[in-house]
Amino acid sequence: MDRAEVDTKIRELIEPFNKKGVELKDETTFQNDLEFDSLTVMDFVAEIEDEFDIIISMNQQAEIENYGQLVDAVHKLQAGA
């Protein structure tokens, strides 16, 4: 999958978690803009992991603050999987 395809897929997956319908840009942050709490993060990460058959460890999650960084990380991880 190229980056655009990964982006499209993640947009789909994030939909049910984006309760306020916040517009997704690369710089949209999970904590402040999307207001994800730790339980939401866990469920959302699990969805992505299952979809792309990858692991995003908590250590890697700590480096991901915004949407663009997530797409980059998943793109890289699934290419290596």
Partner 1 sequence: MSEGISQPDQPQPLEAHAGDKDLFSKFDDIIALREGLLSQGREDPFNLVMEKVLSPTRAICNGRETILLGTYNYMGMTFDPDVVEAGKQALADFGTGTTGSRVLNGTYQGHKECEEALREFYEMDHAMVFSTGYQANLGIISTIAGKGDYIILDIDSHASIWDGCAMGQAEVVPFKHNDIEAMEKRLKRIPEGAGKLVVLEGVYSMLGDIAPLKEMVAIAKKYGAMVLVDEAHSMGFIGENGRGVVEDAGVIDDVDFIIGTFSKSVGTVGGFCVSNHPKFEIMRLVCRPYVFTASLPPSVVATAATSIRKLMHGSNKRAHLWENSKNLHAGLRDLGFKLGTEEPQSAIIAVIMPDLEKGAHMWEALIRNGLYVNLARPPATPAGMTLLRCSLCAEHSEEEVGQILEIFEKSGKETGII
Is 39 one of the binding residues for partner 1 (CB under 8 A)? yes
Catalytic annotation present for 37: yes
CB of 5 closer than 8 Å to CB of 77: no
Answer for which of 2, 20, 23, 59 binds partner 1 (CB under 8 A) is 59
Q: What is the 3-state secondary structure (H, E, C) of 53-79?
A: CCCCCHHHHHHCCEHHHHHHHHHHHHH
User: Which residue among 37, 50, 53, 72 is the active-site one?
Assistant: 37
Q: Is residue 63 close enough to count as binding partner 1 by CB under 8 A?
A: no
Provide the terminal-to-terminal Cα distance of the chain, rounded to the nearest Å. Answer: 11
The residues binding partner 1 (CB under 8 A) are: 37-39, 42-43, 46, 49-50, 53-55, 57-60, 81
Residues labelled as active-site residues: 37
